[in-house]
Amino acid sequence: MAPGMKTIASTVALFGVISLIFGVVAENKKPPHGNPEILIGRDKLICKYPSDRTVALGFLSIASLGVSVLVGHYAVFYPYNGRSIPPHVFFRSISFMVFFLITLALSILAAGMLSWVTITELHHLTRNVHKDLKSTCPTAKTGLFGGAAFMALNASLFWLICLMLVDDVRKDYLAEQDDSKAQLFITNKHNRD
């Protein structure tokens, strides 16, 4: 059985919320800084960070957002009930086109923010030897994971708006097609008589 619009919309929303949860948990679990240890005689400082799952949670958040975006994008052009709509029909609707472009931009921005903060955190954890003995053993800035996670949720919500607009465009197009078929049937019947 093919998935319906509600099932696909629920999937988009679910993975958007999962992305938010992973991002917020990553924000809450992120240590504020590492513990510096000076290597005597080598003039180097090693930052020891407590064991945490911030980077893994960040990558899970990115993956969840990716699933939400891919399913949302797929759902826009999916042939529901076996009735396919040409893609150009959707872009005749100005409201759909505007929301679609905004949604794509938000999705790219959210993925970029999540990737940036996750990679920054990974960079701090893996490159933990410093020549500067006054280093404070930094981590990613506080609030970036949370902000990126909320941006991911926004992107998913915008995909839901796009799916609502797709439903409207689809209904209008199918109604036009049914009307034109009925008109053609009436015309052909009238010509036969």
Q: What is the structure's pLDDT at 1?
A: 34
Q: What is the structure's pLDDT at 181?
A: 61
Under the banding of pLDDT at 50, 70 and 90, the label for residue 69 is very high
pTM of the predicted protein model? 0.82
Query: Does residue 40 register a pLDDT over 60?
Result: yes
CA 4 to chain centre: 21
Q: What percent of the chain has pLDDT over 70?
A: 85
What tens digit of pLDDT does each residue of 101-130 get? 999 999 999 999 999 999 988 888 888 776
* Whole-angstrom distance, CA of residue 68 vs CA of residue 82: 23
Distances (CA, A) of 157 to 12, 101, 151, 152, 192: 8, 14, 10, 9, 53
Q: Where are the domains of the chain?
A: 5-192
